[in-house]
Structure 1
Amino acid sequence: MTERLRPEETARAAALLRAGALVAFPTETVYGLGADACNGRAVAAVFEAKGRPHFNPLICHYASADAAFADVRPDARARALAATFWPGPLSLVLPRRAECRVDLLASAGLDTLAVRVPAHPLALDLLRRVDRPVAAPSANRSGRVSPTTAEAVLEELGGRIAAVLDGGPCPVGLESTVLDLSGNGAVLLRPGGVPLEAIESVIGPVGRAPPPEAGAAARRAPGLLASHYAPSLPLRLNATSVAPDEALLAFGPPLPGAGAVWSLSDSGDLREAAARLFAGLRWLDAEGARRGLKRIAVMPIPAHGLGLAVNDRLARAAAPRPDDPPAPPDGG
């Protein structure tokens, strides 16, 4: 059985992690599936619990920038970004130090490591108590919708992990931005909770990674498989109309005629949309299946600020899978 721990039981969660068990915990982005990153068996258990591809690296979480930079080599850009955005939803991919404590499995054998300091008081308390890096991908089965509540974690991983530390809903609801600083140029590997524009205001222009699965660069961070964050029902993006046999993920005033509706933001607020994205996909997937609906139609969402990250998640969720039915014609 998976224990559901209250905030006052953080010491119990830390003890489980230090003993090599898996514990899900809240961050400002989504719930992470925590493991002692220095313990190869614990890290392997993360892959097993999630059914995650072993070539997909994990992000390591730390209680402070100093703790993170003890395992990786920061440059002036990394230090400036850490000073600006940590604690916060930004992960930096940097070269591993020779004395790096993190097991190589956590970084998929690469010479780089993704690190961050989360901005959630319960997560920071837990990390201080553990006093070592904690590898923590999203606490869901691989390719499924990321959880933003303890209930969603239990739906995904109940019975597979030791405990979930319940800190209530995650305030951001969208994973961290992942930025590769391991080379001379800065490369955005995954849009997320810190908008690209904010990053560029600190370090200047940032490049983009190759498309998913297009070479080694796509292996430097999690969340870069083409089909990812996928509900069971197929997604149809940029919908301008909706059929009765479709569920609708709405942004702004909902289109009429859907079999079920989840509004990301009635007012068109991108921050609200980001926070409600995964909960909406999860609800529409379950409710759509219950009502016998065929797919989820997604209204257009602006591709700037946090909208860039929302569209990135939706594109991965909509990527074709071998067992998907043929996509409907464009224009709907």
Structure 2
Amino acid sequence: MKTVYWDVDKNVDDDHIYPQVKEAAELLINNEVVAFPTETVYGLGANACSNEATAKIFAAKGRPSDNPLIVHIADQQQLQQLVEQIPSQADKLMTAFWPGPLTLIFKKKQGVLADNVTAGLETVAIRMPDHPLALQLIRASQLPLAAPSANRSGKPSPTSAKHVLDDLDGQVAGILDGGETGVGVESTVVDCTTEIPVILRPGGITKEELEAVVGEVLLDPALKNVNERPKSPGMKYKHYAPNAPMILLDGSREWIQQQINDERAQGKKVGLLTTEEDASFYEADTILPCGSRLDLTTVAHSLYDVLRAFNDMKVEVIFSEVFPYEGVGLAVMNRLEKAASHQWRKQKES
């Protein structure tokens, strides 16, 4: 398959539908898959109401069939067509954060969505992206778009069209290049079918921000205990992993440097994910700063780009500093733990 690549003016005019967007919409109407930018990462979109179309998402990504897809919409009318009801907590969250990096779980309306979108569940995950090209594409196609991240399953999510091309060239019908994404990590996923909302995946909207709107919000226990069964099926899979094995290091800078030295003494080429503040302290084969510890949104923004960059450096092991489980740090650590397959080393207390 030849993948069509559209480079679109980054300064999108909401009053003007670009011809490239119209071409991409036609492919979607014809049950093809198209990658497009959102404010979080690039998504791989297809008609959420067509089993034929959504099956192509799973095939292109190599995605397990029990991993549900998030449906992207452009307005409230589309939401009404897809869900049984809108709980009051969900309504408050939509008012506060849509469009934006927040996915909400609803009871699905029967007989509307493709079966594989919800993986046999009675619920559906829906969000309204905060990116003008994404919204234009949804409106131009007049379809709700099922759209997971536009990468091969298990690999770091794409924050640029080049990342998508590297992973999926020849596997998808088209890629709509709208520049680099902003948030850098995926949307927060919140289950609104329970009395108290539950975060199933941390992301661009923090727990603290959610609680400021609706009061108490719970965390799925599986987010902190790897032995717990996650409520969201997709959360049990390995994600975001670079090619080399990754290990999280929790300790002083001096202790981290010793871990690096020990690996290099064994002849291994070592990479280190660190911050702008700490980069000059360390010695390793490849040192990649990933934002500032003083502003973890910068770490989230750079994370996937840095994980992919290690692949080009041909390192044999990657060490990473760790971050507080607060604010967007919760999302950063969730991604790092999955990228490292929960492999940790912790400095012993003296």
Q: TM-score, normalised by structure 2?
A: 0.87
Deviations 1:286-310 (A, max 9, x none): 21x1xxx321111121221111100
Q: CA distance change for structure 1 residues 69 and 269 in 2, over 3 Å: closer, same or farther?
A: same
Q: Does 1:56 align with 2:78?
A: no
CA distance in 1 between counterparts of 2:79 and 2:128 reads: 8
* Structure 2 residue runs without a partner (length 5+): 9-17
- Tell me the equivalent position of 2:172: 161
Tell me if the contact between 1:68 and 1:116 (Cα under 8 Å) persists in the aligned partners: no
Deviations 1:28-54 (A, max 9, x none): 000000011111011111111111111
Q: Does 1:249 align with 2:260?
A: no
Q: CA distance change for structure 1 residues 328 and 63 in 2, over 3 Å: closer, same or farther?
A: closer
Q: Which protein has the larger Cα radius of gyration, Structure 1 or Structure 2?
A: 2
Instruction: State how 1:107-118 maps to structure 2 within 5 Å.
Output: 107-118=118-129
* Secondary structure of the structure 1 residue equivalent to 2:307: helix
Q: Does 1:261 align with 2:277?
A: no
* Structure 1 residue runs without a partner (length 5+): 321-326
- Tell me the equivalent position of 1:5: 6
CA distance in 2 between counterparts of 1:43 and 1:180 reads: 23
CA distance in 2 between counterparts of 1:189 and 1:238 reads: 25
CA RMSD of aligned residues (A): 1.8
- Tell me the equivalent position of 2:297: 271
- Tell me the equivalent position of 1:295: 317
- 1:285 shift after superposition: 2.5
Q: CA distance change for structure 1 residues 82 and 53 in 2, over 3 Å: closer, same or farther?
A: same
Tell me if the contact between 2:230 and 2:236 (Cα under 8 Å) persists in the aligned partners: no
Instruction: State how 1:26-175 maps to structure 2 within 5 Å.
Output: 26-72=37-83, 73-98=85-110, 101-175=112-186
Q: Does 1:202 align with 2:213?
A: yes
Query: What amino acid sits opposite 1:285 in the alignment?
Result: N
Choose which of 292, 299, 305 in structure 1 pairs with 2:327. Answer: 305
Query: What amino acid sits opposite 1:302 in the alignment?
Result: P
Number of aligned residue pairs: 318
Tell me if the contact between 1:65 and 1:86 (Cα under 8 Å) persists in the aligned partners: no
Query: What amino acid sits opposite 2:62 in the alignment?
Result: G
Q: Does 1:316 align with 2:299?
A: no
- Tell me the equivalent position of 1:323: none
CA distance in 1 between counterparts of 2:339 and 2:304 reads: 11
Deviations 1:109-139 (A, max 9, x none): 1100000000000100011111111000000
- Tell me the equivalent position of 1:284: 310
Q: TM-score, normalised by structure 1?
A: 0.91
Query: What amino acid sits opposite 2:147 in the alignment?
Result: A
